[in-house]
Amino acid sequence: MFISTIIAIGITLLAPRAVFASCGHGIESIHPFSAAVDGTVPVPAFTYGTTTGPLNWHNLNQTAYYLCGNGTNQSPILLDSSSAHTAPHGSIKLDVPPAKNVVFENLGTNVEVIINGTLKAAGKTYKLAQFHFHTPSEHRVDLGHYEAEMHFVFDAAGLSAQSHPCTKQANLSGADGSGKVAVLAFFVEVEAQLSTPVLETIFSHLPAIQTPGTTTTVPKVDLSAFQEQANKLKYYQYTGSLTTPPCSEGVSWFLATSPIPLSLKTYVALKDTTKTNNRYTQNSLGQTNILVVASKHLTAYMNMTASGVGAGRFPNLALKIKSQTTAQPKDTAPPPTSPCIPH
């Protein structure tokens, strides 16, 4: 059964696909979409399901989402608490002023909060675009997942939407190698007696956005107490990618080493809304994309079955793989264009 499942995934990885999605709205996109007059927001073409899920994002748009299946510095990654690089203590400064009538929206793939703020990190100042949540966590620490992960998404101050048309941009690194985009992340841990008040406030409005594409407003969001604690924490630091299409690389990641608490009741409400919306763990930074690795192993298995070795166990499956991959062009080089940065 396990081998059959892996081979079935391989068919998805190896078989040619038509490009049926244009530049879409990604969770980690720099600037969120604005709500329409009727209060709705666009829902992205990608999902966390099967044929439109993480294993096949690169086939939804083979140019714009190329790095999702071929990038070598992809996120999320596995973090080793004993050896992961950390930012200098006290070097991360989050500043999000209290705001009224804050937009809270359901994109179908996630729920996000649109609010202004800044981040000072690694000698740069970034402007906050939005923050959102993944359940369970995307990054893993010492092999384990947390119940959720909160992402504050920033771009470098002065980086306008016009700087990122939906065109050719290989990655999000500046000339000095520093990120033009940063994500400040917090692991969320369910606690019986503790919670994070501002999250309780925000998530109390989840009932109003149960339908994907809907929005509501939170009368007041005050992150003062949250950021006071956040600015005292220690952070893992590395350069990776967006964890959603277009999976652009060169993103500066800062992940708090200590989780923030959330009550079980509120976590269940969040989970019921977002379902499972985390990308699978990527290969080590600088190493071959995990989908390319899987594809090579499956191609080898296909060749083995085609030659008669093991074909007796999966004769029909071997023929199916062969028929669906015969016409697959050889992957010799990346396409001439680079992934776009959606807005």
Give the CATH number of the domain where residue 149 resides.
Answer: 3.10.200.10
In a domain, 271, yes or no: yes
| CA–CA dist 183, 154 (Å, integer) | 6
Helix axes 290-306, 2-14, angle to 10 degrees: 110
The whole domain housing 99 covers 73-285
Tens of pLDDT, residue by residue over 164-174, are: 333 334 456 55
The pLDDT assigned to 29 comes to 56
Question: Band of the pLDDT at 297, cuts 50, 70, 90?
Answer: confident
In a domain, 209, yes or no: yes
pLDDT of 187 above 70: yes
In a domain, 190, yes or no: yes
* Degrees, nearest 5: CA angle 193-199-202: 135
Q: Is the peptide bond before 54 cis (omega within 30 degrees of 0)?
A: no
In a domain, 45, yes or no: no
Contact (CB, 8 A) for 194 and 261: yes
Total domains present in the chain: 1
β strands within the chain, DSSP E: 78-79, 93-95, 99-106, 111-114, 118-121, 124-134, 140-141, 148-156, 181-191, 215-221, 235-241, 249-256, 260-263
In a domain, 152, yes or no: yes
In a domain, 8, yes or no: no
| CA–CA dist 82, 108 (Å, integer) | 36
Whole-prediction pTM value?
A: 0.80
- The residues, ordered by sequence, that sit 6+ positions from 49 with a Cβ below 8 Å of its Cβ are none
Listed range (38-52, 124-138, 269-283) with the worst mean pLDDT = 38-52
In a domain, 249, yes or no: yes
| CA–CA dist 234, 231 (Å, integer) | 8
In a domain, 342, yes or no: no
pLDDT of 91 above 80: yes
